[in-house]
Amino acid sequence: MPLGTLDRSPPPFFKQGPSALSKLMFFSALSLFLMVADTRFRITQPVRAALATALYPVQWLALQPVRAVKGGSDYFISLNQAQSSSEEARKKLALQSLRASQVEQLSQENSRLRKLLGLREQLATPVLAAEVLYDAADPYTRKVIIDKGMAQGVDLGSPVVDESGVLGQVTRVHPLVSEVTLVVDRDLAIPVLNVRTGARSVAYGDPGAPGSGLELRFMGSNSDVQQGDMLTTSGVDGVYPPGLPVATITRIERRAESAFAKIYCAPQALVTGARHVMVVKPLSSQIPPQPEAEAPSVPAKKKGAAK
């Protein structure tokens, strides 16, 4: 076949219709039109709603595994948080309870210190503040150990008082600590004065009495004493300053077969719970020494008296 007779147009099988550029321009214009129309007239909103409604079950089923995993992790996280919160709440409650008890203890201690300072102002003798460290190890005595000794100027026999009254007397002094015998010890005796009657007597420690108190001995059965009488230091022994509260009479037993009455007293000081005390200088250390007696002068002999 001669070359001039060949048809150069593509066969019908390879015909592509409009060109690619024409298709691009057409669909681009169509897209712009649809976007503008959807923005202005919302023509595709019903279609979107229908598609969303149709696809909702599929989306719900697809999200169930994710929700299950997330719910399980949230459960364990919430459980751990609840346990940690409960533990933290218990710790805070215990701390608040401890602080409340400490506040109550500190308020009581503050009140006692204020009373002790008030008593210090009433005393004209030098005093030394001290703190009770512990009770003595001897179970047959009533003694405590304080944190002041010879290095701080504590003298043997010094009275010891708390905010309520006479607590005891220093019976042993060490370089840094001292031993105080309490007023309820059986080996301690204090000269006292009945504030109501002005009668003087001696109070002895009586640990066997009810409540570990004191006893007024050698008081006649007809003595003028009443339940509730206040006993203070008389000051006649040269050790205790006068006027310090010692005890209160709680019980009186008068017996016909005995010439003496049994008089029981309750100490004013906190013999079982004292914490802060004051050591008072004994009155004997403040009394000036007696002047020395002058030697009698020997009269001079007269001259010529004896030959």
- pLDDT for 143-161, tens place per residue? 999 999 999 999 999 999 9
Length of the chain: 307
Query: In this predicted structure, what is the pLDDT of residue 145?
Result: 93
CA distance 204 to 191: 9
Share of the chain above pLDDT 90, in %: 22
CA distance 270 to 182: 10
Query: In this predicted structure, what is the pLDDT of residue 176?
Result: 92
The Cα angle at residue 173 between residues 168 and 174, in degrees rounded to 5: 140
CA distance 26 to 301: 167
pLDDT at 230 over 90: yes
Query: In this predicted structure, what is the pLDDT of residue 4?
Result: 54
Is residue 277 within 8 A of residue 127, CB to CB? The reply is no
pLDDT at 170 over 90: yes
CA distance 53 to 47: 10
Averaging pLDDT over each range in 11-20, 38-47, 221-230, which range is the top one? 221-230
The residues with which 200 forms a beta bridge, in sequence order, are: 193
- Please enumerate in sequence order all residues whose Cβ is within 8 A of that of 145, keeping only pairs 6 or more positions apart, or say none: 132, 133, 134, 135, 136, 177, 178, 179, 180
Is residue 188 within 8 A of residue 157, CB to CB? The reply is no
Query: In this predicted structure, what is the pLDDT of residue 78?
Result: 80
pLDDT at 305 over 50: no
Of 59-63, 168-172, 191-195, the least confident: 59-63
Confidence of residue 296 (pLDDT cuts 50, 70, 90): low
Query: In this predicted structure, what is the pLDDT of residue 307?
Result: 42
Query: In this predicted structure, what is the pLDDT of residue 143?
Result: 92
| Other Cβ atoms closer than 10 A to 289 | 5
Closest CA to 268 of 208, 211, 199: 211
Helix (H, G, I), strand (E, B) or coil at 213: strand
- Please enumerate in sequence order all residues whose Cβ is within 8 A of that of 282, keeping only pairs 6 or more positions apart, or say none: 155, 157, 158, 159, 238, 239
HEC string for 115-181: HHHHHHHHCCCCEEEEEEEEECCCCCCCEEEECCCHHHCCCCCCEEECCCCEEEEEEEECCCCEEEE
Considering the entire predicted model, what is its pTM?
Answer: 0.58
Going from the C-alpha of 91 to that of each of 24, 114, 182, the distances in angstroms are 73, 34, 41
